[in-house]
Amino acid sequence: MSNWNSYSPADLPEAVVKKAVQMGADDVVVTSGIDDTKQIRFANNSITTSKSWASTGLSIYLTKDKRILSTQVNELSEIDRTLDELMKRIKMMQPNEEYGGIYSGKPKFRKNVAEPTVAAMVEELFVHVDAAISSAQEAGASRVAGVLYSSSGEMHQATSGGSIGTYGSSSLEISVRAMSDAESSGHMVQSVTSPMNFEPARVGRTAGELAIESRNPEIGKEGKFDVVFSPMIFANIMERVGSSCSAGSVDAGMSFFTDMIGKKVASEKFTCYDDATNPESLDSLPFDEEGAPTGKTSLIEKGILKTYLHNTSTAKRYGTVSTGNAGLVFPSPWTTCLEPGQDTRDQLISQVNDGYYMTNTWYTRFQNYQTGDFSTIPRDAIFHIKNGKLDKPVKDIRISENMLNILKNVKAVGNDPMQVHWWEVETPVFVPHVLVENVNITKSTQ
């Protein structure tokens, strides 16, 4: 019986890897971590709930003869029993003939350190919420609701391939929805890794202003329209672009980029990449789930699809190398970024004679993942654009479109990127305002 309590959190994964290899495992990845999260919810202009929780755990992934098992361990005293059970159970598994192993090497990883002040913040979080509510009310909103999160943690990983690494992370996030009446609302979010960049008052003020500006909306018209998308709504599209660039999505028949490497999939104005190196991203991390170094991977350059995202197994199947995007089973993007253009939001709007400005959306659903057919319902502040200027607010419209059509019809990209991450956008995205031509608009009730 091993004395696992004698190991530091940083040394524990390597010790468990060695034990699993001695027991006969081929590939092993062990990760341990701790995360301290605080949450404050507010509704009707008041704080309603506040809670905090710390999560700790050890994850073990191991293979034997291309048979794969993984599990979580919550108590150190259970590690030996868990390893014994895994090695017994794995013999009964069917081999995965497409499994290609894990990353092998001992790289020196760049340092990621959590901002130390985030973990200590308590009273400051309530002050931030009050600032968001007050700013929205000062802008004219009658009711304000939302949620604030703070998180700080550290992760340690070791693999049988020789990779050993540690990184810290911290974040502050706020989502504010302001209402001025039953049909008029505005929504804004912010996600940062440092308190120095946190602006809850600005977020609340923006949401409140949108709520006032969108009063008395009229029923929107159907047809083909040029649309200026805010970062909040175009982030939904960019998240799907990133996930469809995963080789795992392609193999599973869930990508609208299948067999399109080297082909034109978007407008020449459209360039995007996956970036795990940006310290401002919530998913900035030095290594992936196989222990491979992460980096910045060009996905689409001036409309041409350049590569898929890979782990070791998918890379071997495609005759290439890992992009540092494991997902032990399924490669995934870390942070999908759209390269900014030159235009301000108002300059984008000035290019539209008859169209829409949309600030947010929900219920994005695919009718066909392989073709990219989807629909989504714009919500909160939506405006008709007439002769290059914002006109009356509208309501009750739906976007019924195709992802490739949207990408190929990008006319111009704004110069104001922001990080978007909330329950409609689960993977962080950096995106500015975007002007898209000939977007198909239908009624939201259809």
CB atoms within 10 A of CB 329: 16
pLDDT at 2 over 90: no
pLDDT at 236 over 90: yes
352-400: pLDDT as tens digits:
999 999 999 999 999 999 999 999 999 999 999 999 999 999 999 999 9
Give me the percent of the chain exceeding a pLDDT of 90.
95
Do 77 and 40 form a contact (C-beta atoms < 8 A)?
A: no
Q: In 231-258, which positions are buried (b, 16+ CB within 10 angstroms) versus exposed (e)?
A: bbbbbbbbbbbbbbbbbbbbbeebbbbb
Cβ contacts of residue 128 below 8 Å, gap of 6+? 148, 172, 174, 198, 200
Cα angle 88, 92, 97 (rounded to 5 degrees) comes to 120
111-170: pLDDT as tens digits:
888 898 999 999 999 999 999 999 999 999 999 999 999 999 999 999 999 999 999 999
Q: Alpha-carbon distance 177 to 211, whole Å? A: 9
What pLDDT shows up at residue 15?
97
Q: Alpha-carbon distance 362 to 434, whole Å? A: 18
- As annotated, the residues of the chain forming the CATH 3.30.2290.10 domain(s) are 4-213
Is CATH 3.60.21.10 the right assignment for the domain spanning 4-213?
no
Q: Which of 18-27, 67-76, 437-446 has the lowest mean pLDDT?
A: 437-446
Do 15 and 156 form a contact (C-beta atoms < 8 A)?
A: no
- How many residues appear in the chain? 446
- Calculate helix-pair angle for 79-89, 12-22, nearest 10 degrees: 40
Reported pTM: 0.95
259-289: pLDDT as tens digits:
999 999 999 999 999 999 999 999 999 999 9
Cα angle 250, 323, 300 (rounded to 5 degrees) comes to 65
Place of tokens 């029923």: 219
- Residue 362's closest CA among 375, 374, 373, 378? 378
What pLDDT shows up at residue 446?
45
Mean pLDDT of 173-183: 96
Mean pLDDT of 39-53: 97
- In a 10 Å sphere around its CB, with 0-12 CB exposed, 13-18 middle and 19+ buried, how is residue 263 labelled? exposed
What pLDDT shows up at residue 1?
66
